[in-house]
């Protein structure tokens, strides 16, 4: 007796329908997981701050400040951390998952172990404290600045623009300060320095990165005997990296553990550089033995140094930039506790924890988008080029610190990526033969449907223009938003 196969087909259709519905439900729910976790973290931060630390009648203010500080930390993690690990991901030295885990660990460690225990409540001297000496006004200024800067960084992340969180905070403080006390309250010479850093940071970072790329190409990659050249110069370059990052961490990342001036930091860096050279020279020789005499072999020698560089940049970033999230929060807590405005305050452990874990959570939940943008979308990176970017970020910060220039690590890192891309364009135009040039001219002209487009484009101009525009308007945009928020708080919350 032959069974009717139709019931089986019906059952198969039912199962397929159920599977498709489950997949559809997962696809719908998945985009909501990250915002839900972020919202839970923000809520818990405010709740714990309000009830676990005994602020009595002022619990609502502390809760609001802690929640906004957590929101700011999430946004810094989503936007700013990409600059440290993005090049390594773009160069395929790290997977996205590996980069997220490594950055989260080192960002948190940097924030908790070496994060500054004393911060200026008026960010970088932008506002004269005497003009906002009333505790209530001061609290509204800090809340408005924190909220405005967090919103602006969030918007920048959505549109795909890596912006300076330091400049966002500066703009927020400036805008709320002007709304509270007028234009006279602003330290305009300091603002001029910050405006100058918009140009200085990316240009200096780009020049340093391009200079290192030119050196490596001319001394190693383009040499006939690439293996011999690599054995000679790669240990030197790794030693330079070790020395630079030692000085960088001493200057920017170890303030809480020990106070080190720039001259001492440079001496420490020189010593570590010498030790690193003698340790890595035989290692590079062993690693290159039996390898082909190709550029790919040379690039492979920079993979491990690049991973170390990304980890060290993440540690220093966590130590240095966590204050952007929790500095205003610490100022509010201090003002509520003592009922007075102070020019500098200590950061309580719980406040630092909010910043540290918010930074890492923001990176894990929302960081991949910016990591891909920084590492893959601006220009094509490999381990050698990404190494130049990481080294440039550390060197430029040290140079700027020695010159007393207020620079942005975001602007430096992204400027270094642009510098590498534009250098490759220029180098190709100078060294390419006539046949290659004609082929590219024809290809580019066909793309543009006109004959004016004659150059090989190795940097995406759309990203370049978007990022530059976001940098230029960060301070005024955060300032205007902060002034509006302050006016609302001062009117309805007083």
Domains of the chain, by residue range, sit at 36-492
Helices (H), 289-348: 295-300, 303-338
Tell me the two tokens of residue 414.
């992204």
Please state, in angstroms and rounded to a whole number, the distance separating the CA atoms of residues 340 and 99: 43
Strand, coil or helix: 460 = coil
C-alpha distances in Å from residue 151, one per residue of 244, 358, 480: 34, 15, 12
State in Å, rounded, how far the first CA of the chain is from the last one: 86
pLDDT in tens, the chain (494 residues): 445 555 555 555 555 655 555 554 444 445 678 889 999 999 999 988 887 666 566 778 888 999 999 999 999 999 988 888 999 999 999 999 999 999 999 988 888 876 665 556 555 578 877 788 888 888 999 999 999 999 999 999 998 888 888 889 889 999 999 999 899 888 888 888 878 877 888 999 999 999 999 999 999 988 999 999 999 999 999 999 999 888 888 876 666 667 778 788 889 999 999 999 999 999 999 999 888 899 899 999 999 999 999 998 888 888 777 777 788 888 888 888 777 777 677 778 888 888 889 998 999 999 998 998 888 888 889 999 999 999 998 888 777 767 666 677 888 889 999 999 999 888 887 876 666 666 666 665 665 555 444 455 677 878 888 888 888 899 999 999 999 999 999 887 76
Strand, coil or helix: 182 = coil
The answer to whether the CB of 152 falls within 8 A of the CB of 474 is yes
The answer to whether the CB of 345 falls within 8 A of the CB of 121 is yes
Provide the greatest CA pair distance for the chain.
Answer: 98
Nearest Cα neighbor of 203 from 459, 473, 392 is 392
- Rounded to two decimals, the pTM is 0.83
Residue 346 DSSP label:
E
Please state, in angstroms and rounded to a whole number, the distance separating the CA atoms of residues 295 and 198: 35
């Amino acid at each position: 007796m032959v069974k009717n196969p139709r019931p089986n087909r019906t059952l198969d259709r039912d199962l397929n329908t159920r599977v498709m519905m489950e997949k559809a439900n997962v696809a719908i729910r998945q985009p909501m997981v990250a915002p839900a976790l972020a919202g839970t973290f923000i809520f818990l931060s405010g709740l714990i701050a309000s009830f676990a630390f005994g602020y009595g009648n002022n619990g609502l203010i502390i809760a609001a400040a802690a929640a906004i500080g957590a929101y700011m930390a999430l946004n810094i993690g989503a936007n700013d951390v990409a600059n440290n690990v993005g090049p390594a991901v773009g160069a395929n030295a790290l997977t996205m998952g590996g980069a997220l885990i490594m950055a989260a660990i080192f960002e948190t460690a940097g924030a908790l172990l070496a994060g500054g225990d004393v911060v200026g409540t008026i960010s970088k001297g932008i506002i004269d404290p005497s003009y906002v000496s009333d505790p209530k006004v001061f609290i509204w200024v800090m809340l408005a600045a924190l909220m405005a800067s967090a919103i602006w960084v969030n918007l920048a992340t959505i549109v795909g623009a890596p912006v300076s969180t330091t400049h966002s905070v500066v703009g927020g403080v400036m805008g709320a300060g002007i709304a509270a006390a007028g234009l006279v309250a602003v330290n305009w010479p300091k603002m001029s320095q910050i405006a100058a850093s918009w140009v200085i940071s990316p240009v200096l970072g780009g020049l340093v990165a391009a200079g290192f790329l030119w050196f490596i190409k001319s001394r190693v990659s383009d040499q006939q005997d690439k293996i011999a050249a690599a054995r000679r110069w790669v240990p030197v370059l790794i030693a330079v990296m070790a020395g630079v990052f030692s000085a960088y961490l001493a200057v920017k990342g170890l303030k809480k553990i020990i106070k080190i001036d720039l001259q001492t930091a440079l001496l420490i860096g020189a010593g570590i550089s010498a030790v690193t050279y003698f340790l890595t020279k035989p290692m590079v020789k062993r690693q290159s033995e039996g390898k082909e005499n190709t550029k790919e072999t040379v690039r492979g020698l920079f993979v491990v140094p690049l991973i170390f560089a990304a980890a060290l940049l993440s540690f220093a970033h966590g130590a240095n930039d966590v204050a952007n999230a929790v500095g205003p929060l610490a100022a509010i807590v201090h003002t509520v506790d003592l009922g007075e405005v102070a020019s500098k305050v200590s950061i309580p452990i719980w406040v630092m924890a909010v910043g540290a874990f918010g930074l890492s959570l923001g990176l894990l939940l929302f960081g991949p988008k910016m990591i891909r943008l920084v590492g893959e979308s601006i220009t094509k990176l490999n381990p050698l080029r990404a190494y130049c970017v990481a080294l440039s970020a550390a060197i430029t910060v040290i140079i700027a610190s020695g010159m007393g220039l207020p620079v942005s690590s975001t602007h430096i890192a992204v400027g270094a990526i642009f510098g590498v891309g534009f250098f490759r364009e220029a180098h190709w135009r100078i060294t390419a033969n006539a046949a290659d040039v004609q082929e590219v001219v024809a290809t580019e002209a066909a793309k543009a449907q006109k004959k004016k487009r004659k150059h090989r484009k190795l940097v995406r101009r759309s990203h370049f223009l978007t990022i530059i525009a976001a940098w230029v308007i960060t301070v005024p945009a955060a300032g205007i938003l902060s002034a509006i928020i302050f006016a609302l708080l001062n009117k309805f919350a007083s």
